[in-house]
Amino acid sequence: MARPAGLSGFPEWLPDGRLVELEVLDTVRRVFELHGFTPLETRSVEPVDVLLRKGEIDKEVYAVRRLHSEPGDEDALALHFDLTVPFARFVVENASRLDFPLRRYQVQKVWRGERPQEGRFREFTQADIDIVDVDRLATHHDAEMALVMAEVFASLPFLPPATIHVNNRKVLEGFYRGLGVDDVPAVLRAIDKLDKIGPAKVRTLLVESGLSEDVADRVLALAQIRGTDGSVADEVRALGVSDPLLDEGLAELVAVVEAAQRVRPGAIEADLHIARGLDYYTGTVYETTLEGFESFGSICSGGRYDALASDGRTTYPGVGISLGVTRLVSLLLGRDLARATRKVPSAVLVAVVDEESRPASDAVAHALRSRGIPCEVAPRAERFGKQIKHADRRGIPYVWFPDAEGDTVKDIRSGEQVGADATTWTPPDTDLRPRVVAVTDGEAESEEGAS
RNA sequence: GUGGGUGUAGCUCAGCUGGUAGAGCGCUGCGUUGUGGUCGCAGAUGUCGCGGGUUCGAGUCCCGUCACUCACCCCA
């Protein structure tokens, strides 16, 4: 089965794995455009100082330079590590030529120098959507972001059920401020481990970081609240902490969750333990887990940033969410959850009787292709048994036998062989192109699923 | 960056207290001289990750190194 090989952290899929990835990419693009997001691609490199905000030297970025460069003759460049920072740079540079609010999607590779492990790569593809406006950005977009991604997940039938967990930075910061917590990042880091190590150990971490037992208990109680309606706010308030920022955050959070619930019940829920690193997010934050694979980590995350970009005079607030395409595909392939129905696009292998009659086989292929049926002609005029085997190996469902007395086409899965005319014959829709299907328990054992 | 684990056939792996390398799957051929899959028979394939050391002898023990991998960190 397709899986990463070669350089660690730089995954390469076999052809059937790439077909799975393309299915995800095609779906992502279709759904994003269905919601009116406009496509954008930025260059792969940025000046180092664009990527690393001042004081931030521990980001693992790859520097890029010409092999023949001389010291100091060029600005320092680096490969981008996400799509948000380059997009922010692009917005400021092109603000006068863009229309706001700007809805854009961007699907590109990004690079990070971190140590790879399952689901973590050094080169990977992200699919981002963001909405950016000038000065103020309406809050209803926060629900929209999650709903678009929920639609992507719903459009991938081979995916385990996905839940988008939503929280709001203001809730956490307001709550912690109301409790008098000093080291907010340490608390967030501990809370972030809730899924992994459980509440008891998180409580220990919290107490070790300097919180009193009572404060630790309330921090933990907040983190364990979940829900899909206004009752979430009631539960938070019942913990007896009050702060203006907390109230603001709760109102936003409830609005997002209730709006999402109206459109796509169950896909999105408030989850007060979602923290995310404390960098630029200022309000809503998202993380997505797949049912049964919670420990695999988030496959789709993002949030709101009140100052996505700024040119000193104008501020551009934004909200965005990013699907980790490579992480998702690596899970599907690595755990054998989904497979392509075949390794090649061809629906038909046109057999070759002998090299003298190859033009007749080429003519059949041409006729099929002219009607949109992907096919290929046998590479060698071997015994028909070998030509059928050639098709079988690749999962090509039909073999076409040219014959002066009348062509025939054979479904090699059933063995059924019938007379056929290349100008009219059409395979069933389900056989026309490779499809991606969930692997059921019964199929999981056999590699090729010979039917 | 820190700490653990693993490197043997294309793949998954076995290989005892050191004695000169194996299985299953896959692959090739034949049975099946123009129709695959099942079955039977036959066959091919290894710098045992790399370098050094101990030894009469190293896949096995020791040292180093590289790669992969897991955890921490961080995150898609």
Asked whether residue A111 falls in the same domain as residue A228, the answer is: yes
Asked whether residue A401 falls in the same domain as residue A301, the answer is: no
Q: Which residue is nearest to nucleotide B38 (CA to C1')?
A: A450
Residue A394 domain flag: yes
Residue A24 domain flag: yes
Residue A91 domain flag: no
Q: Mark A353-365 as b/e (b = at least 16 C-beta within 10 Å).
A: beeeebeebeebb
Asked whether residue A299 falls in the same domain as residue A357, the answer is: no
Task: Give the distance, in angstroms, between residue A413 CA and nucleotide B25 C1'.
Answer: 22
pLDDT of residue A187: 86
Task: Mark the ranges of chain A whose per-residue pLDDT is less than 50.
Answer: 1-5, 55, 445-451
Strand B contacted by A279 CB (< 7 A): yes
Q: Are A220 and A206 in contact (CB under 8 A)?
A: yes
pLDDT digits (tens, 9 = 90+) for A292-323: 888 788 899 999 998 888 888 899 999 999 99
Asked whether residue A180 falls in the same domain as residue A315, the answer is: yes
A420: containing domain: 348-433
Task: Give the distance, in angstroms, between residue A387 CA and nucleotide B33 C1'.
Answer: 16
Nucleotide nearest to A383 (CA to C1'): B34
Nucleotide nearest to A325 (CA to C1'): B76
Residue A145 domain flag: yes
Complex ipTM: 0.82
Task: Give the distance, in angstroms, between residue A447 CA and nucleotide B35 C1'.
Answer: 24
Asked whether residue A368 falls in the same domain as residue A259, the answer is: no
Residue A446 domain flag: no
Asked whether residue A237 falls in the same domain as residue A189, the answer is: yes
Give A245's contacts (C-beta < 8 A, 6+ positions apart): A170, A173, A174, A177
d(CA A207, CA A216): 6
Asked whether residue A303 falls in the same domain as residue A248, the answer is: yes
* Tally of structural domains, chain A: 2
Residue A111, number of CB atoms within 10 A of its CB? 21
Q: What is the pTM of this model?
A: 0.91
Asked whether residue A234 falls in the same domain as residue A200, the answer is: yes
Task: Give the distance, in angstroms, between residue A8 CA and nucleotide B18 C1'.
Answer: 35
Lookup result for tokens 């019942």? A238
Q: Which of residues 413-432 of A touch strand B (CB under 7 A)?
A: 413, 415, 417
pLDDT of residue A110: 92
Residue A71 domain flag: no
Q: In what order do the strands lie in the sheet with A417-419?
A: A375-377, A348-350, A398-401, A408-411, A417-419
Q: End of a domain among A292, A317, A339? A: A339
Token output for A72: 């100091």
Token output for A67: 């092999």
Q: End of a domain among A284, A318, A339? A: A339
Asked whether residue A308 falls in the same domain as residue A406, the answer is: no
Strand B contacted by A27 CB (< 7 A): no
pLDDT of residue A448: 35
Nucleotide nearest to A334 (CA to C1'): B69
Q: Mark A1-21 as b/e (b = at least 16 C-beta within 10 Å).
A: ebebeeeebebebeebbbbbb
d(CA A303, CA A172): 14
Q: Which of residues 325-344 of A touch strand B (CB under 7 A)?
A: 326-328
CA angle A299, A303, A306 (to 5 degrees): 160
Phi and psi at A400, nearest 5°, equal -105, 130
Which element (helix H / strand E) includes A275? none
Q: Which of residues 68-127 of A touch strand B (CB under 7 A)?
A: 82, 112, 114-121, 124, 126
Task: Give the distance, in angstroms, between residue A336 CA and nucleotide B35 C1'.
Answer: 33
Quote the crossing angle between the two packed helices A194-208 and A184-192, to the nearest 10°. 150
Strand B contacted by A446 CB (< 7 A): no
In CATH, what number is assigned to the domain containing residue A395? 3.40.50.800
Start-end of H helices in A35-98: 48-51, 84-94
Q: Mark A162-201 as b/e (b = at least 16 C-beta within 10 Å).
A: bbbbbbbbbbbbbbbbbbebeeeebbbebbbebeeeeeee
Token output for A128: 């981002």
Task: Give the distance, in angstroms, between residue A78 CA and nucleotide B32 C1'.
Answer: 62
Asked whether residue A300 falls in the same domain as residue A364, the answer is: no
Nucleotide nearest to A119 (CA to C1'): B76
Does residue A101 have a cis peptide bond before it, meaning omega lies within 30 degrees of 0?
A: yes
Torsion angle, CA of A155/A156/A162/A165, rounded to 10 degrees?
-50
pLDDT of residue A57: 54
Protein-covered nucleotides of chain B (CB closer than 7 Å) are: 1-2, 27, 29, 32-38, 67-76
pLDDT of residue A450: 29
Nucleotide nearest to A450 (CA to C1'): B37
Strand B contacted by A448 CB (< 7 A): no
pLDDT of residue A451: 27
In CATH, what number is assigned to the domain containing residue A232? 3.30.930.10
Q: Which of residues 181-210 of A touch strand B (CB under 7 A)?
A: 189, 193, 196
For strand A123-132 and strand A315-324, is the pairing parallel, antiparallel, or unpaired? antiparallel
Q: End of a domain among A339, A367, A384? A: A339
Asked whether residue A170 falls in the same domain as residue A208, the answer is: yes
Could you tell me how many helices (H) and strands (E) chain A has, helices first? 15, 19
Nucleotide nearest to A113 (CA to C1'): B74
Residue A149 domain flag: yes
d(CA A302, CA A270): 14
Asked whether residue A328 falls in the same domain as residue A380, the answer is: no
Residue A54 domain flag: no
